Every structure is written in structure tokens, then in C-alpha cells.
Amino acid sequence: MRIIFMGTPDFAVASLKALIDAGEEVVAVVTGPDKPAGRGQKLHESAVKKFAVSQNIPVLQPVKLRDPEFLAELKSFNADLQVVVAFRMLPELVWNMPEKGTINVHASLLPNYRGAAPINHAIINGEKKSGVTTFLLQHEIDTGNILFSTEVEILDNDNAGDLHDKLMLAGAELLIRTVNAINKNDIHPIPQDSIDTENLKHAPKIFKEDCLINWENDSVKIYNLIRGLSPYPTAFTHIDGKVLKIYESEIIIEKHDLKPGSYISDGKNELKFATKDGFLKLLEIQIEGKKRMSVSDFLRGYRLEGTTN
């Protein structure tokens, strides 16, 4: 089949590479426009574009997916199938173009965790498993008929970065299985509304206010929030009037009479924040204006004032 691949971040590169390694004919790649980044605001190419260029695959970077010029160029590749991995929402003019339609690789076990941040929300909610699903695109986002899915275990200390890497590899494998089945005309799409959809968990985009820790919560809930937002966009609190990002922590269940959100420290190796039912011992942090570091390194170079807000 002639395949057009659509994606932007590192997560999508593994799937694109898997298609090429499997000998599939990827005739073009669609990715986001180059964006200015860093202090010099130099134009930054997406991970998918960099890889596609290294493989001598034509790259399309439309600003608007309904642009007539882009649609004409897309159609000129005469693709049999389009594959979408970590890209933006497509208009019907695009996803309905190929004869065999457009398939998507989504980082959850659909119909649960539809949305922009399935990896983060699975860990924030304390799930023990996640997975990847391939499905056929249709009008409503992440609601198309399911083709295949595979489960991935979430360990108690996995953070969003760990799960991202697991699902990235699992997604690439599942994509090849799906494309092979389509090649053989051996697919049996399952409508998502035929599955129990009454108590679905969702994965909306995460905003800065979602990352602020509420120390009134119990330790497990805060611990899951921290690892669910690590390494990005990162849970944060305030200490001595400054923003403190927390990348890694440890639960200590212990009775105390401290106000949730207050902290105690030995000034050398330990920094603990009080929760409703114990403490969160911080292990890896970043205070505003400084780099990410261990708590022991932080305490060696920072004098705590003893205030939170």
C-alpha cells in the first residue's frame, strides 16, 4: 500500500520508523510547521520531520489542513491509507481521502482516556495498566471503530515519561500488526459504542492550574499527580515565595499535627511536605531560576526560610 504518515513528536517517530523497517511504502509525511524555539527563536523542526528528511521522504507542513493547495498536493500522492500518530484533529476532507481510510494510533485502551493527555491521566488516576489502540478515524475525536489494542503494565514507580516510552514502542508494534491486517483485508472493526461507555475516564488537555499540588489531598493522590506530570509539564508547589517543580517523590504514611503544605527539612538531605495523611519526601526538584537537581544538591546550595504559600 501507498501510505501517508501524519505525526509530530518523538512518540510518532517510532511508528514511522517501524513502517519503513517493515518495508511499507511511505510516500509522504505530514507534520507541523517549523516553530521558533529557544533564546534565539531559531526555527525548530519536529522530530518526525527530521526523521523523514533523513529517509528522503517528502514532507508536507500545512498551516491549515483545509488549504486547497495542501489538499491538492496530498491527493497527488494517491495514497491507499493514511496513518496518524500524535497529530492534530483532521477534517473529513483529509481523513476520508484514501480508499482504505485513515487509522490512528492512540495511547490508551479506548474508549477510556480519549483526549489530548491519555498518558498523564492514566498515571494521575493510579491505573495499573494502560495500552495502545488502533482505530479508524471518523467525525468525533478518538471515537472511531477499534481495530486492535494491546495492554501495557504501569509499575507503581512509573512516571509519565516511563509510560510514554513503553507505549511508544507498543504503538509501533501494534501499527505494523494493523497495517498487515489491512493489507490482507483481515480487519473486523468494533464500534466503540458497543463497549461499556457509561463510566468512561477522559484525558483532556492539561493546563498550568492542573499542575498545582493541593496538599490537602492524601499522599497517594499527590504522589500519582507528581509522577503523572513528570517530566512534563511537571507538578509544582511554592516554597519561600518561589515556584518549586517536583519530578520525583516518595510516600511516607505517618501521623502528624502539621498543616498540609508545610515542610520540614534537616537542611542537608531531606525535605518533606505534609499531606492529609503523612508526608511526601521530595527526591528530585527544580526551583525557579535553577536547573533540575536532587534534593541533597538543592539543600547544599539553598537556605530555606521556612515558608510556603
Give CA–CA dist 168/178, Å, rounded: 15
Helices of type H across 64-149: 68-76, 92-95, 118-124
126 CB burial (10 A radius; 0-12, 13-18, 19+): middle
DSSP string, 221-290: HHHHHHHHTTTTT-EEEEETTEEEEEEEEEEEE----SPTT-EEE-SSS-EEEE-SSEEEEEEEEEETTS
Neighbours of 91 (CB within 10 A): 12
Q: Are the C-beta atoms of residues 20 and 95 closer than 8 Å to each other? A: no
User: Is 230 annotated to bind ligand?
Assistant: no
Q: Are the C-beta atoms of residues 104 and 134 closer than 8 Å to each other? A: yes
What does R_g of the chain's alpha carbons equal in angstroms?
22
User: Is 109 annotated to bind ligand?
Assistant: yes
User: Is 111 annotated to bind ligand?
Assistant: yes
Give CA–CA dist 48/31, Å, rounded: 7
User: Is 189 annotated to bind ligand?
Assistant: no
Q: Is 128 helix (H, G, I), strand (E, B) or coil?
A: coil
Residue type, position 265, single letter:
S
Give CA–CA dist 38/148, Å, rounded: 39
Bind-site residues for (6S)-5,6,7,8-tetrahydrofolate: 108-111
Bind-site residues: 108-111
